[in-house]
Amino acid sequence: MEFHDVTSSAVASAALFWIIVLLRWSRQPSRPPPTVVRAPALPEQVPLVSIIVPARNEARNIEACLRSLLAQDYPRFEVILVDDCSEDETAAIASRLAAADSRLHVVRGEPVSEGWMGKAHALDQGYRRARGEWLLFTDADTEHAPPLLSGVMAHVLHSDAGFATVVGDQRNPTFGAYLANLAVFAYIFMFVDPKSWSRPRSRQSLVNGQYVLFSRKAYLSIGTHAAVRRYSSTDVSLGYLAKMEGWVPLLIDGRGALTTTMYRDFTDAFGGWSRSTVNGSWTVLGPFWGSLALLVATALLSLFWIGPWVGLAAGLVDLDGVGVAVSLLQVLAGLTLLALARQQVGPAIKDTLLMPLSYANFIVIVIVGLARAWLRGGTMWKGRVVRTSQRLPPWRPKAPRGPAR
């Protein structure tokens, strides 16, 4: 009887993990997103695109980013670099490149105004200098293959989308950065619902702030970045408000053409994610409920990513064949999820082996990030305290908009 009870609970435990996998698999889009590689041809007459890059203390990244943007094969564009009061050589590097290419304009940013978040403030200043019919907001730690903008604009101009976002590759220069990023991206993957992305009534609108493209018409209807000036998670907020205004986003697969180096080492990644995870949850739910939701979600997912390995070790020590088998089935469920996220089995195996350590680090990131945020009244980023003064409004979507042009 005791063996029967143990076996039943073991089967139920393993089944729960696979139910999670099936539910997550069922939310994958029925059709893959369009790719830059297979973009349609551009029309003969194309609109001017203003590429706006905010940069604060980005001396390590800015030259590679700007050179890749200036090498775009799209026929009509300008690049506006907003130096957000950098304390390093960012402005000097950008000015040197601008002297050699008239398409690049360097804006010396003003100090952040009261009631504004830093990134939104910088992007707003860039927008005020922009002449384009389309506005591309991209980060200073990105690198763009020459055909990227042409491919993105070809897809956009053949659709009715008012804005689009591109998913690219993440570069991890060190093992520490890779380890810190691994659990965070797995965490995001668990809560994103790609199937609802293009549904106007769904609030799923998580844009990739590393590459967001708006028609001027759509951008103005949202209220520009001034509408998100008080939100600590600028990119999440902008996508949310855009979709609520009726602009259904176009998601484009830019892997192989867009590369981002978010963090170069473990220390940078730890500090960055301890800020971003808190900002995202506080923007959506406010400080109290956002903190509680983040802690609960982190604890529950630790049962998924760390629990099976603990069970496997205990089963091996106790020579418990049933426990070992159940734990292996649970580990296999995690591997399947990571393969689904990666769309490759080989890298997912390595990710699965590293996930217990990575997720343990993620738990520390969340705890440290929340503790610092509550003590400071906000999160620290590049020498500034980012204070969350507003949460997203209730979800009341408008009717879908027509063509953006």
Can you give the pLDDT at residue 192?
85
Q: How many residues does the chain have?
A: 405
pTM of the model: 0.90
Can you give the pLDDT at residue 106?
97
Can you give the pLDDT at residue 404?
61
CB-CB contact of 77 with 49 (8 Å): yes
Can you give the pLDDT at residue 48?
98
Among residues 259, 52, 66, which one has the least CA distance to residue 167?
259
Looking at the DSSP bridge assignments, the partners of residue 258 are 144
CB-CB contact of 123 with 52 (8 Å): yes
Q: How far apart are CA 79 and CA 51, in angstroms?
A: 5
Radius of gyration for the alpha carbons in the chain, expressed in angstroms and rounded: 22
Neighbours of 344 (CB within 10 A): 11
Looking at the DSSP bridge assignments, the partners of residue 165 are 212, 251
Distance of CA 385 to the CA centre of its chain: 21
Q: How far apart are CA 82 and CA 64, in angstroms?
A: 16
Return the structure tokens found at 159. Answer: 């659709």
Sign of the torsion angle spanned by Cα atoms 128, 47, 243, 84:
negative
Can you give the pLDDT at residue 383?
66
Can you give the pLDDT at residue 199?
86
* Type of residue numbered 300: L
Q: Sort 200 into a burial class: Cβ within 10 Å, 0-12 / 13-18 / 19+.
A: middle
Q: Would you give the end-to-end CA distance of the chain in angstroms?
A: 70
Mean pLDDT, consecutive 10-residue stretches, the chain (405 aa), reads 57 86 87 88 94 95 97 97 93 97 95 85 95 97 97 94 93 96 94 85 86 96 92 87 91 94 94 91 89 96 94 90 90 94 87 96 96 82 67 87 66
Can you give the pLDDT at residue 1?
41
